[in-house]
Chain A
Amino acid sequence: QEKTVSGKVTDAKDGSALQGVSVFVKGSTKGTQTGPDGTFKIKVSSGATALTFSSVGFASQDVTIGTGDVFVKLVQNNASLNEVVVIGYGTTRKKDLSGSVTTVSSKDFVKGAITTPEQLISGKVAGVAITSNSGAPGSGSTIRIRGGASLNASNDPLIVVDGMPLDNGGISGVANPLSLINPNDIETFTILKDASATAIYGSRASNGVILITTKKGKSGKPTYSFSSQMSVASIAKKVDVFSADQIRSIVNTKGNASSAALLGSATTDWQNQIYQTALSQDNNLSVSGSLKKLPYRISVGFLNQDGILKTGNLQRTSLGINLSPMLLNNHLKIDLSLKGTYSQSRFANEGAIGSAVTFDPTQSVYSKSNRFGGYWEWLDPATTTGLKSLAPLNPLGLLLQRDDRSKVQRAVGNALIDYKLHFLPDLHALLNVGADLSEGKGTVLVPDSAASAYMRSPDKKHGGVNNQYRQTRQNTYLNFYFNYTKDIKSIKSRVEATAGYEYQDYLTMNYNFGDYTTDGTVISTPIYPFDKPENTLVSFMGRMIYTFDNKYILAGTIRRDGSSKFNPNNRWGTFPSGAFAWKIKEESFLKNVKAISDLKLRVSYGITGQQDGINNYDYISYYNLSGNQAEYQLGNNFYQMYRPGGYYYNRKWEQTATTNVALDYSILNGRVSGSVEYYYKKTTDLLNQINQPAGTNFSNKIVANIGSMENRGVEFTVNLQAIRSKDVTLDLAFNATYNQNKITKLTISDDPNYAGAQFGGISGGVGNTVLINSVGYNRGAFYVYKQVYDPVTNKPIDNLFADKNRDGIVNSADLYQYKGIDPKAFFGFSANLNYKKWNAGFVMRANVGNYVYNNVASSTGTLRNIINPIGFINNGSTDYLNTYFSGSGDKYFLSDYYVQNASFLRMDNINVGYNAGKIFNKRANLRVSANVQNVFVVTKYKGLDPEINGGIDNNFYPRPRTFVLGLNLDF
């Protein structure tokens, strides 16, 4: 039996009628909406007890169904503004933030088969560019916040997990140390961008800080959550190379009799040979609840991911335990967190990628001979090994004849103890101690029949590889601080003060092993059994936040850091910051303007430091004893040589000063919100590898504090609640970042003829580099020759380049700075649509103004590559048809023709989900989802993928296209 309940909903503040409020029978999906006058009517079954009222910007409310009409007053809640946000060494309310802090919580994470945490927020945050390094299982990403502040020191942000800063260094046997954290355990990412937010992290914060918070236990009965994902990945795009018939035709028309004789009669697509359709599954189970007064969360995860390059595989078992007991009458709060991971990887030989592009498609895969494992190889009876010298090796042989396996275990644990003093409850004493222990080890096995290691001993009698590696890391962390928070109502003030001490030590143990052939013949032995690099940071920090009248916020931080990497006189650096925020909305002239929900102006300035990415000890010269193959004969004896190392005594902290001006806005009752920020970062005393004056040091290049660089940019974020209706909600989020980078000083002495520091080695011609850091230009400009084009056909003319300085000679003095590897602007766009029990969404990203050097085209798209004068045939990029380059000479590699516009629009992810609701006698809730990752890319770039870290596209492991099916079961 049903009855009808009617009533009216009003705003608690002013009693005005509220339209569009969702009204549901509690515990069901049956619902309606209020009309323009705030009234509603709903049919309910006789068993229904309560109605739920909810509307954006208001706290939802349950009302018991009585006999008469229901009148409800909803209370406005700036829920998002009251959210508590993690900041460095503490938390604050979002509305009280004075720095540039962006939080992405789990509901907004990128969905799909995400195996490494940082991909959860790719495209979600303005100013943060996350580029996956390759398509290999577990491979990491390069994260750049506001362009990165350094040249030769690190540009990676500091990553802090549950209050514990991680080491940015890699771990042997794992492609990416972050991948050892199970993405399913992560609750929020908080990105600190401006100096006001980051300076409390002082020394390591120049490139921004990413705070990761893992999920904690909740009070109540245990709830279980199980999720499972199955995915199928396949190659999205292959390198465009010639078919076997095309190669036969090119060789027969352009080659001579001897090159034609090298052709085979087979038709092999080598890229098809090395790639596979890869299956993966990711299963996670967690339980969360409270055992008496002990909230806990325990999770286990198992990931098994195959690579699309054959043989590659990653298996990761992870365990996460979080305990959050409250003791001493809630005066003592303890957060214990333990994350353990065991991963087993088999790394595919990525050398096969390039080899598959260039290997002759007219040859068959197998040779019908047992030699070289049965794989067809280029032969030369004149050589000792029988292999053609310098010829490429069979791609499938490279892949299947190398067995590179690693086992990595890691445990990260910390305890955050928060003691609220009994006699002064406003004062907290906090202690955070933790350790990050890991061990990576592995073996590389190559059979002695493999062409890649054939007869590699000096006497050419033993081959193969039987090597191992091992590394342990022991990072310890201690942090102790006081936090005092006091509302002083009498003077409308709120004060928060923090002061503390921190200690971080990063100790690595690298075990050295010899190089052996399959049968154990020694190729080389290490001189030392191990090495133990270590560095330590000691810091003191303080922070004061003063809020007056809930309108004006003044914040200041200071941190003093000591690093073992600098000499005792330069060891300490001081990093201050200050910020001011004005909550304009709270002013009387805006307080009652309904159209504006929130408006806040933030201004900050601060200085941060950098010492990551430089050597541990070289502020004085140390002598290094040479290895067994670098001895020198004097008389009849061979001596190991003591070599003094280059050093730079006066090295000190690199400093970045950041100015940030921002406006946070929220209008139309919170339906539209976001921020606009402007920043200017100037890095001075740049840790920059510079040439030492010849004759003054033991190394001609040393990382010294010479140079300066600027980044300036604008970030824009808008979040739009586009549709809010009973059945349909649509959320759109858009962010845009414009960043301009400029190097303003690089060298000790200003020589106008010195172009800058060249880097960016390419494949093709040893020593060729295509990038340069030059004063007056952006970091990572291409440094190339200006290609001359045929005015009629518009085709590039082989080996003809502009004589830019008009001295009659085309030489390196005619190279010029051209474009750059970094995007000028990048964008993220995501949408989430809910319709009844369905939801759908997508994430798109775009980069504009980034260029890529197409090294695949330059090194393989020439006639000389296809008909190699050394006596073999190669496949090559079909770009040859655009240029018909001969491949002779040494300058075509550096043609600006190969520097291509790599602006792109990428559909990262499209997902669809269905909430099946209660199943199993209403004891469990089931959600199912499907999504596609790497759906499509729109770009003018001619190579495989326009999104290449470092701007040089050479044998890139292709990002697969992945189809994922997932289910979540909560019970």
Chain B
Amino acid sequence: CAVAVFASCTKKLDLLPTNDVTSAQVYSTPAGYKEAFAKVYGAYALTGNQGPAGNGDVQGIDEGFSDFLRLYFNAQELPTDEAVVAWGDAGIQDFHNMNWSASNPFLTGLYYRSYYQITLCNDFINQSSDANLSSRGITGVSADSIRTYKAEARFLRAYQYAVIMDLFGSGPFVTDKDVIGSATLPTQATRTQLFTYVESELKDLESSLVAPRTNEYGRADKAAAWALLARIYLNAGVYTGTPRYTDAITYSKKVIDAGYSLITNYPQLMLADNNLNTSEFILTINYDGLKTQSYGGTTFLTHAPVGGSMTASNYGISGGWAGYRATKTLPALFPDNTGTADKRSQFYTAGQNPEINDQTVFTDGIPVTKYRNVTRSGANGQSLDFSDIDFPLFRLPEMYLIYAESVLRGGAGGDATTALTYINNLRTRAYGNTNGNINASTLTTDFILDERARELYWEGFRRTDLIRYGKFVDGTYLWPWKGGVKSGTAVAAFRTIYPIPSTDLSSNANLKQNTGY
């Protein structure tokens, strides 16, 4: 080939995909920003870009397992008295048996899902810089909207770092300052460093978020940032060794005072049309049986606990997956298993043996019927295979409980009377009357732990709560099959923190494994 021919010969080597586009094309219009922004949120709800499966975000784990909520539920609920699972999927039994290792596929999946969302946020934040907006000619109202998106992306990133801090203790630290795709290895942030970062970031971005209850459904506002602050302050003693109950009171109170109210009927919280519950929900992950399909999320929460003699159609699904149940200690917190007195008690008992002889037998244990893909009027969700139920990441009762616990634990700025009122608000709704209300002498921290279980069970709180109460690993509180023993046993203290996945240790020389693993 002569030089000219050579040039034409080799130019052919520059090929472009047909349907995929470059970042410059995506971010050339405000509409493109919104579609990229939808991914920043949608990465919570979905497992990939093709519902329900087929083009997953996270590799190395079955796509159906790989959404945030299902993974988070396994990490937060399965190692506790609130849940056991019948299945034999690789690593799933390790949770309740409390013998997980650094190569557990679910922990690995959760870790990479969290960092995936962090990376998406970092990219979006970068793309939304003022310099990029002006170079792309986006100004005025459009630019203002994108600046709000950017603040929300920062919030979501802070949320994921809070999750990493809680579950894994420490982890690699990357922000929008780091170049994606570069060979630079991230450094490891300690738990305290993560706490400091999340706290300062939330306080810094708070002003850029819209006022409580003024954003579009499914998007974060100031109240979401306050609620997250309240949550991390409640657990600050665990994370940093320094309790921050006063701050927990401050921020839970800000949320409570922002105009939220409880919906009337607790069993309507987790139904197919629970997008109506905006008075109580602060921020939701949105699902849709037709348009937002995955095998995780609330589809998982509706299908997984249905089996045995349960009639699938009662739960708005075509058939159950016969997997998850609670141990007997969860229903034991309620006056009855049927919701007669405390309507929060939503269990299925017919044909179920409360004693678990074998975790892998579905009919041992008590299924939870809290999530049902039917509407308030009893109609089925849009699809019998995928749920319409939205999942509240934050809802008002948690703020009441944070306030009350922080007051009882000596935080300043709140008072016991208000705390009691808040708790009785929950109990009045639960009972439909004041029969379940308590008096000040009953309101102890241990009562709060039980009340949190009653109010928030199967919503992803239990592990964190048990750790805060010192009951997660030691022998003072046992539940069936804790530590893999039928009557329950204490496990090593290092298991209050999950291991950094060995896959990341093999890719990033800056990382050190957590003690014990």
Known: A382-B310, A622-B21, A767-B90. A695 touches B174 (CB 8 A): yes
Task: Report 28 cross-chain contacts, Cβ distance below 8 Å, ordered by A residue.
Answer: A384-B313, A458-B290, A532-B18, A622-B17, A623-B21, A623-B25, A623-B26, A627-B50, A631-B291, A632-B45, A634-B41, A634-B217, A640-B35, A693-B185, A693-B508, A694-B507, A696-B180, A700-B58, A748-B507, A749-B509, A754-B506, A765-B87, A767-B61, A769-B90, A864-B360, A888-B360, A889-B88, A889-B93
* A residues in contact with B385, CB < 8 Å: 458
Contact of A538 among B12, B218, B361 (CB under 8 A): B12
Q: Are A533 and B313 in contact (CB under 8 A)?
A: no
* A residues in contact with B36, CB < 8 Å: 623, 641-642, 644
* B residues in contact with A758, CB < 8 Å: 103
Q: Are A642 and B32 in contact (CB under 8 A)?
A: yes
Chain A residue with Cβ nearest B44: A632
Q: Are A389 and B320 in contact (CB under 8 A)?
A: yes
Chain B residue with Cβ nearest A388: B319
**A869 to B322 CA separation, bound complex (whole angstroms):** 9
Q: Tell yes or no: B115 within 8 A of A by CB.
A: yes
**A278 to B365 CA separation, bound complex (whole angstroms):** 51
Contact of B12 among A564, A623, A634, A635 (CB under 8 A): A564
**A620 to B25 CA separation, bound complex (whole angstroms):** 14
Chain A residue with Cβ nearest B310: A382
Chain B residue with Cβ nearest A627: B50
Known: A390-B319, A696-B186, A767-B89. A536 touches B48 (CB 8 A): no
Chain A residue with Cβ nearest B219: A634
**A694 to B99 CA separation, bound complex (whole angstroms):** 24
Q: Which of A194-202, A808-816, A943-951 is near enough to bind chain B?
A: A808-816
Q: Which of A15-23, A55-63, A160-168, A647-655 is near enough to bind chain B?
A: A647-655
**A753 to B517 CA separation, bound complex (whole angstroms):** 10
Known: A624-B49, A627-B49, A695-B118. A648 touches B181 (CB 8 A): yes
Q: Are B45 and A700 in contact (CB under 8 A)?
A: no
* B residues in contact with A527, CB < 8 Å: 19
Q: Are A764 and B88 in contact (CB under 8 A)?
A: yes
Known: A630-B48, A754-B502. A635 touches B17 (CB 8 A): no
Q: Tell yes or no: B172 within 8 A of A by CB.
A: yes
Q: Tell yes or no: A629 within 8 A of B by CB.
A: yes
Contact of B507 among A532, A538, A747 (CB under 8 A): A747
Contact of A641 among B20, B38, B218 (CB under 8 A): B38
Q: Are B23 and A568 in contact (CB under 8 A)?
A: no
A469 to chain B, nearest CB (A): 15
Query: Which chain B residues numbered 166 to 182 have a C-beta less than 8 Å away from chain A?
Result: 171-174, 178, 180-182
Chain B residue with Cβ nearest A805: B101
Q: Are B216 and A766 in contact (CB under 8 A)?
A: no
Q: Are B218 and A634 in contact (CB under 8 A)?
A: yes
A40 to chain B, nearest CB (A): 63
Q: Tell yes or no: A628 within 8 A of B by CB.
A: yes
Contact of A390 among B55, B59, B321 (CB under 8 A): B321
Q: Tell yes or no: B289 within 8 A of A by CB.
A: yes
**A928 to B58 CA separation, bound complex (whole angstroms):** 59
**A693 to B507 CA separation, bound complex (whole angstroms):** 5
Contact of B22 among A538, A620, A812 (CB under 8 A): A620
Q: How large is the interface on B (under 10, 10 to 19, 20 to 34, 35 or more residues)?
A: 35 or more
Residues of B that sit less than 8 Å from A by CB: 1, 9-10, 12-23, 25-26, 32, 34-39, 41-42, 45-46, 48-52, 55, 57-62, 64-65, 86-94, 99-105, 111-112, 115-116, 118-120, 122-123, 171-174, 178, 180-186, 216-219, 286, 288-294, 307, 310-313, 318-322, 358, 360-363, 382-386, 502-509, 513
Q: Tell yes or no: A534 within 8 A of B by CB.
A: yes
Q: Are B90 and A626 in contact (CB under 8 A)?
A: no
Q: Tell yes or no: A584 within 8 A of B by CB.
A: no
* B residues in contact with A620, CB < 8 Å: 22
Interface string of A346-382 (1 = CB under 8 A from B): 0000000000000000000000000000000000101
* B residues in contact with A813, CB < 8 Å: 101-103
Interface string of A553-587 (1 = CB under 8 A from B): 00000000011100010010000000000000000
* A residues in contact with B513, CB < 8 Å: 753
A814 to chain B, nearest CB (A): 9
Known: A751-B502, A769-B90. A632 touches B286 (CB 8 A): yes
Known: A384-B319, A636-B217, A649-B181. A617 touches B17 (CB 8 A): yes
Contact of A384 among B16, B37, B384 (CB under 8 A): B384
* A residues in contact with B320, CB < 8 Å: 389
Q: Tell yes or no: A690 within 8 A of B by CB.
A: yes
- Most B-side CB within 10 Å, residue of A385, A458, A501, A893: A458
Known: A632-B41, A766-B89. A564 touches B14 (CB 8 A): yes
Q: How large is the interface on A (under 10, 10 to 19, 20 to 34, 35 or more residues)?
A: 35 or more
* A residues in contact with B184, CB < 8 Å: 696
Q: Are A460 and B217 in contact (CB under 8 A)?
A: no
* B residues in contact with A563, CB < 8 Å: 13
Chain A residue with Cβ nearest B45: A632
B213 to chain A, nearest CB (A): 13
**A765 to B62 CA separation, bound complex (whole angstroms):** 11
Query: Which 7 residue pairs across A and B have the least CB separation, nearest first?
Result: A389-B319, A629-B51, A635-B216, A632-B42, A458-B383, A754-B506, A622-B20
Q: Tell yes or no: A459 within 8 A of B by CB.
A: yes
* A residues in contact with B61, CB < 8 Å: 767
Q: Are A768 and B183 in contact (CB under 8 A)?
A: no
**A459 to B384 CA separation, bound complex (whole angstroms):** 6
Q: Are A627 and B51 in contact (CB under 8 A)?
A: yes
Q: Tell yes or no: A838 within 8 A of B by CB.
A: no
B492 to chain A, nearest CB (A): 9
Known: A383-B312, A633-B291, A695-B178. A765 touches B172 (CB 8 A): no
B351 to chain A, nearest CB (A): 10
Q: Are B178 and A621 in contact (CB under 8 A)?
A: no
Contact of A389 among B35, B312, B358 (CB under 8 A): B312
Known: A633-B291, A890-B90. A383 touches B319 (CB 8 A): yes
Q: Tell yes or no: A93 within 8 A of B by CB.
A: no
Q: Are B42 and A869 in contact (CB under 8 A)?
A: no
Q: Are A571 and B216 in contact (CB under 8 A)?
A: no
Extra contacts, 13 of them, besides A390-B322, A631-B42, A642-B39 (Cβ < 8 A), are A384-B313, A459-B383, A616-B17, A617-B16, A624-B49, A627-B55, A638-B291, A639-B42, A694-B504, A811-B100, A869-B361, A869-B363, A890-B88
Q: Are B384 and A505 in contact (CB under 8 A)?
A: no
Q: Are A870 and B307 in contact (CB under 8 A)?
A: yes
Q: Tell yes or no: A643 within 8 A of B by CB.
A: yes
Contact of A748 among B1, B25, B57, B509 (CB under 8 A): B509
Q: Tell yes or no: A701 within 8 A of B by CB.
A: yes
* A residues in contact with B15, CB < 8 Å: 534-536, 564, 616-617
* A residues in contact with B99, CB < 8 Å: 809-811
- Most B-side CB within 10 Å, residue of A535, A564, A633, A747: A633
Q: Are B103 and A812 in contact (CB under 8 A)?
A: yes
Known: A390-B319, A645-B20. A755 touches B502 (CB 8 A): yes
Contact of B386 among A458, A809, A890 (CB under 8 A): A458
Q: Are B26 and A562 in contact (CB under 8 A)?
A: no
Known: A626-B49, A700-B60. A632 touches B38 (CB 8 A): yes
B493 to chain A, nearest CB (A): 15
Q: Are B180 and A765 in contact (CB under 8 A)?
A: no
Known: A505-B12, A568-B14, A630-B292. A691 touches B116 (CB 8 A): no
Q: Tell yes or no: A790 within 8 A of B by CB.
A: no
Q: Are A691 and B23 in contact (CB under 8 A)?
A: no
Chain B residue with Cβ nearest A809: B99
Q: Are B1 and A501 in contact (CB under 8 A)?
A: yes
Q: Tell yes or no: A925 within 8 A of B by CB.
A: no
Chain B residue with Cβ nearest A532: B18
* A residues in contact with B118, CB < 8 Å: 695
**A768 to B1 CA separation, bound complex (whole angstroms):** 53
Q: Tell yes or no: A625 within 8 A of B by CB.
A: yes
**A532 to B217 CA separation, bound complex (whole angstroms):** 38
Q: Are A630 and B49 in contact (CB under 8 A)?
A: yes
* B residues in contact with A631, CB < 8 Å: 38, 42, 51, 288, 291-292
